[in-house]
A = this chain, B = another copy of it.
């Protein structure tokens, strides 16, 4: 008997990759996540000289796209793995997202949080019922605390971005946006650890191969930009930027995906990011955190590049301390 061709459906469901993993994630998170609206403002179009479609992940549950990835990871676990709970390290939205996803599945979550994390994000992690484990604000302390927790509890690590389940979940942002808007000329999303941009790039390349894919980074935290330029992963920086969600660096998995798929990473200065954030508040009437404004900031900075195009911009989250304004 000749060897049969691999049964595609089965192999896709046992080890999904690429678009299939994102389609699976979309189905898995659908009972829990919001289909977020896409907003538009003609006054911003006039300012940018192109047509802007804002995917409002600040209106996602717990206020950021991070819920998609965390939810997909938590609901991917077998019953026996889930019973041992989940652990992560996060200074912000991913910690709260994992806490909420774990609560929805009825399992325990523990989050290693550096001492200098935003109080608003710390409060959200606690409000969603996770246990916080404090650590010093450096990578070594964070990794040590996480490793100790994993060893003691046997819980499952759900990394904020270096996890294919998380990346697939974040990819549902682009899947949804393309369903809502049809074809776009370009997609712009912020890059911190690269999970959001990686998932979106996989979905977008599969569904709309000719769309330009641009990451957006603060000039003050341009490690991903420089990594792609240099062709090697740069991880030895400690960036100072108002964008607390974009201070991390890429992991090997996200570096590889962005290197394969991105047209480039565009940069914006701190004052441009703050001005873009204010425009979003005033014209779209929604609250976004600084990290979420970097996409609009790069589009406004590079008007010629986007002139006349139809551009999707991912607004990644809205969790910030209002009184810090």
Contact = CB atoms under 8 A, between A and B. Distances in A.
Interface string A38-77: 0100010000000000000011000100000000000000
Contacts of A322: 278, 281-282, 325
A285 interface: yes
Interface residues of A, number: 19
A318 B285 contact: yes
A37 interface: yes
Contacts of A318: 285
Interface string A283-295: 0111110000000
> How many chain copies?
2
A127 B41 CA distance: 13
Nearest to A39: B59
* Residue in A37, A58, A319 with the greatest tally of chain B CB atoms within 10 Å: A37
A246 B288 CA distance: 27
Contact of A285 (B43, B58, B278, B282): B58
A213 B229 CA distance: 61
Contact of A286 (B278, B285, B325): B285
Contacts of A39: 59
A122 to B, nearest CB: 15
Contacts of A319: 285
Contacts of A286: 59, 285-287
A133 to B, nearest CB: 24
Contacts of A278: 322
Interface in A274-307: 278, 281-282, 284-288
Given A278-B322, A285-B319, 5 more contacts: A37-B59, A43-B127, A58-B285, A59-B285, A63-B285
Interface of A: 37, 39, 43, 58-59, 63, 127, 278, 281-282, 284-288, 318-319, 322, 325
